Amino acid sequence: MPELPEVETVVRTLENRINGRIINEVIVRWPKIIDNIPVDIFEKKLRGQKFISFGRRGKFLLFELSNYMLIAHLRMEGKFYVYAEETEPDKHSHVIFRLDKGELHFNDVRKFGRLYLYDKGSRYSCLDKLGKEPWDDTLTAEYLKEYCRGKSTAIKSQLLDQSMIAGIGNIYANEICFDVRIDPEHPACYISRDKWDEIIRSTRKILEEAIRAGGTTIRSYTSSLGVTGLFQQELYVQSREKETCKICGETIRKKFVNGRGTYFCPKCQVEKPLRVAITGNIGTGKSTVSGLFREEGYPVISCDEVNRELLEKETTRKHLAGLFDCDLSQVNKAYIRERIYADEKMKKKVEEYLHSCIWNEVEQFYQTNPTVEMIVTEVPLLFETDWYRHFDCNVLVVSDKKEIVQRLKNDRHMSEEEIEKILQNQMPDDAKISMADAIIKNEGSIEILQKNVKRKITEIIRTLPQE
Ligand SMILES: [Zn+2]
């Protein structure tokens, strides 16, 4: 089936061959091919029309004529043939365009292809459901994250959804998944924004390279216009079952994901532990929740603890002493707070340094736990910093204000005034809820919380690919 690069190649080839040609006559031999208007009107309207410009939207070809927009969807095996002179149509030529010089035939062995004709400038309803073009500036990690919210669909299948991104078909979806080293069955709702950025970059890169190579020529799609695509030589997984992976030497395998042939490298695209972050405002009980994840057998790392340990390390304190231009013995928590309190520049420097140290520790923690289903990181300021972009699943713990106040009074011996001041200054729950992938309510007893956590874990694990 032709995908974006093949359609783009067809469009550019036709532009070369028939731009400026005038349609003298149209003969439709298989009426069903004309989708949105009666065949006799299609034939009548096209008479005398000139080809002005050529474009593409998703996998649709757009021909701008003098008064109309002719749109073609090749689907499985639709093809265009251009002939220099009048040519006897074969049995699969369903629409013949007689031009002022030569002929254009629409040929389709399986008859799934469709042609549409619209008044120029009107709404082209056949394109209504198409999502963003791969090079659209508004195709961002944030858009994709939002689009896939709650969708446990396999990422490979999600990439085929034309209303999310238009133009990607089976071949390129397989190649993109390999390029970003993701298991094709990984659930679309649990992909970090960082990973989505990678997927966007990879999609653009692969499609651009394929367009440059004239598309991919494989069994189900061969060019009719004398242009043979060469991208099949650049494929890493597609149609390479039982061949060796060009990166790691492992044998490429084929499986079916939602009925579509899916090629992948079991070593390069192995499912990694899901990166789960737990956060929550003060007093919501996020540490209790992390503890419950640990009780269920999942490794947990706390950024607060890592930070505390870092500040005891001599290398960290030496670096900070250098930044502050002070004595090593002076560096402690209180001193750091004092030095960054009114100095925004210094604050940024110190935070950048500490955050990169903490992130290194977190990454190392991931390396030491490669086979669990998920790893939990407790991050107090997840949404206040850009850390929320790094995790596949951001879990927010929320709690009733009365219970929060009670907890802070009992556990931390804070006064109502102090508590109120802190609550006022933090990012409100509503803003965090809109960015979170999962919410855990901490209300009532520890038993209820335990149940909530277990339910959430089951919900997450259930979406992950099964061996
Ligand atoms: Zn490999």
pLDDT in tens, 401-424: 999 999 999 999 999 999 999 999
> Could you tell me the distance, in angstroms and rounded to a whole number, from the CA of residue 250 to the centre of ligand 1?
5
| pLDDT, tens digit, 9 for 90 and up, residues 293-348 | 999 999 999 999 999 999 999 999 999 999 999 998 888 888 998 988 889 999 99
Q: Give the phi and the psi of residue 363 in degrees, each rounded to 5.
A: -60, -45
Helix (H) and strand (E) counts in the chain: 15, 15
| pLDDT, tens digit, 9 for 90 and up, residues 248-274 | 999 999 999 999 999 999 999 999 999
Q: Is the pLDDT confidence value at 449 over 70?
A: yes
CB 206 within 8 A of CB 176: yes
- What number is the average pLDDT over the span 210-225? 75
Q: pLDDT at position 230, please?
A: 85
In what order do the strands lie in the sheet containing 78-83? 23-28, 93-99, 103-108, 78-83
Q: Is 2 a catalytic residue?
A: yes
> Could you tell me the distance, in angstroms and rounded to a whole number, from the CA of residue 171 to the centre of ligand 1?
17
Q: Is the pLDDT confidence value at 387 over 60?
A: yes
Q: pLDDT at position 182, please?
A: 98
Q: pLDDT at position 222, please?
A: 54
CB 76 within 8 A of CB 110: yes
- What number is the average pLDDT over the span 58-79? 96
Q: Does domain 272-299+369-462 have CATH number 3.40.1160.10?
A: no
pLDDT tier, 223 (very low <50, low <70, confident <90, very high otherwise): low
Q: Is the pLDDT confidence value at 219 over 60?
A: no
- What number is the average pLDDT over the span 430-440? 95
> Could you tell me the distance, in angstroms and rounded to a whole number, from the CA of residue 246 to the centre of ligand 1?
7
Q: pLDDT at position 167, please?
A: 96
> Could you tell me the distance, in angstroms and rounded to a whole number, from the CA of residue 5 to the centre of ligand 1?
25
pLDDT tier, 216 (very low <50, low <70, confident <90, very high otherwise): confident
Q: Give the phi and the psi of residue 156 in degrees, each rounded to 5.
A: -55, -45
SS (H, E, C) 281-330: CCCCCHHHHHHHHHHCCCCEEEHHHHHHHHHHCHHHHHHHHHHHCCCHHH
Q: Picking from 192-196, 216-220, 394-398, which range would have the lowest pLDDT averaged per residue?
A: 216-220
- What number is the average pLDDT over the span 7-35? 96
Q: Is 129 a catalytic residue?
A: no
Count of all residues that appear for the chain in the document = 467
Pairing label, strands 300-302, 374-378: parallel
> Could you tell me the distance, in angstroms and rounded to a whole number, from the CA of residue 27 to the centre of ligand 1?
51
Q: Is the pLDDT confidence value at 1 over 90?
A: no
> Could you tell me the distance, in angstroms and rounded to a whole number, from the CA of residue 429 to the centre of ligand 1?
42
Q: pLDDT at position 225, please?
A: 78
Instruction: For residue 200, give every residue at least 6 positions away whose Cβ sits within 8 Å of its Cβ, in sequence order, or none.
Output: 134, 139, 140, 141, 144
Catalytic residue among 59, 339, 407, 432: 59
Catalytic residue among 29, 98, 151, 260: 260
Q: pLDDT at position 224, please?
A: 73
> Could you tell me the distance, in angstroms and rounded to a whole number, from the CA of residue 239 to the centre of ligand 1?
15
CATH code at 141-264: 1.10.8.50
Q: Is the pLDDT confidence value at 232 over 90?
A: no
pLDDT tier, 212 (very low <50, low <70, confident <90, very high otherwise): very high
Pairing label, strands 274-280, 374-378: parallel
> Could you tell me the distance, in angstroms and rounded to a whole number, from the CA of residue 236 to the centre of ligand 1?
9
Return d(Cα 212, Cα 458) in angstroms, integer.
46
Q: Is 260 a catalytic residue?
A: yes
> Could you tell me the distance, in angstroms and rounded to a whole number, from the CA of residue 165 to the centre of ligand 1?
26
| pLDDT, tens digit, 9 for 90 and up, residues 115-159 | 999 999 999 999 999 999 999 999 999 999 999 999 999 999 999
Catalytic residue among 3, 8, 185, 198: 3
Torsion of CA 410, 416, 417, 423, to 10 degrees: 80
> Could you tell me the distance, in angstroms and rounded to a whole number, from the CA of residue 309 to the centre of ligand 1?
38
| pLDDT, tens digit, 9 for 90 and up, residues 83-92 | 999 999 999 9
Q: Is the pLDDT confidence value at 37 over 60?
A: yes
Q: pLDDT at position 48, please?
A: 97
| Averaged pLDDT score across all residues of the chain | 94
Catalytic residue among 2, 5, 273, 380: 2
For 123-141, b/e burial (b = at least 16 CB within 10 A) is ebebbeebbbbbeeeebeb
> Could you tell me the distance, in angstroms and rounded to a whole number, from the CA of residue 273 to the centre of ligand 1?
18
CATH code at 4-127: 3.20.190.10
> Could you tell me the distance, in angstroms and rounded to a whole number, from the CA of residue 464 to the centre of ligand 1?
21
- pTM as predicted: 0.94
Q: Is 308 a catalytic residue?
A: no
Q: pLDDT at position 386, please?
A: 92
> Could you tell me the distance, in angstroms and rounded to a whole number, from the CA of residue 378 to the centre of ligand 1?
32
